[in-house]
Chain A
Amino acid sequence: MTVFKAFLKVIKKNLGTILIYTSIVIIFSAVNTQAGNQSGQFVSEKPDIMIINEDKGSAVSENFEKYLQDNANFVDIGTDENDIADALFYRDISCIVTIPKGYGKSVLEKSPMQPEISSTGSYEASLTKNMIQRYLRVQNTYMRTKITEDVLISSINEALKNDTKVVLTTKLDTNSLIKSANYFNFAAYSMMACILFIICVVLSSFNEISVRKRTIVSSMNYKKFGFNLFLASLAYAIVVWLFFIGLSFVMVGDTVLTLRGAAFVINSLIFSITALSLAFMLSTLIEEKNALSAVVNVITLGLSFLCGVFVSTNYLPDWVVALAHIFPTYWYVDTNVKIATTENLRASAMLLVTNSLILVAFAVVFVMTGIIVSGKKRKIT
Chain B
Amino acid sequence: MYDKVIEVKGLTKEYKELKAVDDLSFDVYEKEILGLLGPNGSGKSTTINSILSLLKYSSGTINIFGKEMKPDAYDIKRDIGVIFQEVAVFQELTVYDNIDYFCGLYISDKNRRKQYVEDAIELVSIGNYKKFYPKQLSGGLLRRLNIACGIAHKPKLIFLDEPTVAVDPQSRNNILEGIRKLRDNGATILYTTHYMEEVEQLCDRIIIIDKGKIIASGTSDSLKKLAKIEEKITVEIHRLSEEFLEKAKKLEHATDAFYDGKMLIVSYNGGKNNIANMIDFLRQNNLSYLKVYSERPSLNDVFLELTGKELRD
Contact = CB atoms under 8 A, between A and B. Distances in A.
Interface of A: 1-2, 5-6, 9-10, 13-14, 201, 205, 208-211, 213-221, 225, 379-381
Contacts of A1: 104, 108
A5 B101 contact: yes
A188 B80 CA distance: 46
Given A5-B104, A209-B86, A217-B77, 6 more contacts: A9-B92, A10-B90, A205-B92, A208-B88, A210-B87, A219-B78
Contacts of B108: 1-2
B54 A221 contact: no
B27 to A, nearest CB: 21
Nearest to A380: B54
Contacts of B29: none
Nearest to B83: A214
Contacts of B92: 9-10, 13-14, 201, 205
16 contacts: A1-B104, A13-B93, A210-B88, A213-B54, A213-B84, A213-B88, A214-B82, A214-B102, A215-B105, A216-B54, A217-B82, A219-B75, A219-B78, A220-B106, A380-B55, A381-B55
B93 A6 contact: yes
Contacts of A210: 84, 86-88
Interface in B49-89: 49, 52-56, 71-72, 74-75, 77-78, 80, 82, 84, 86-89
B149 A214 contact: yes
Contacts of B87: 210
**A-side binding surface: helix, strand, loop or mixed?**
helix
Q: What secondary structure prevails in chain B residues at the interface with A?
A: loop
A208 B91 CA distance: 11
Contacts of B89: 211
B51 to A, nearest CB: 10
A214 B54 contact: no
B97 interface: yes
Contact of A218 (B55, B86, B106): B106
B88 A211 contact: yes
B35 interface: no
B70 to A, nearest CB: 12
B140 to A, nearest CB: 18
Nearest to B77: A219
B178 interface: no
Given A2-B105, A2-B108, A6-B101, A205 B91 contact: yes
B80 A217 contact: yes
A201 B92 CA distance: 10
Nearest to A205: B90
B54 A217 contact: yes
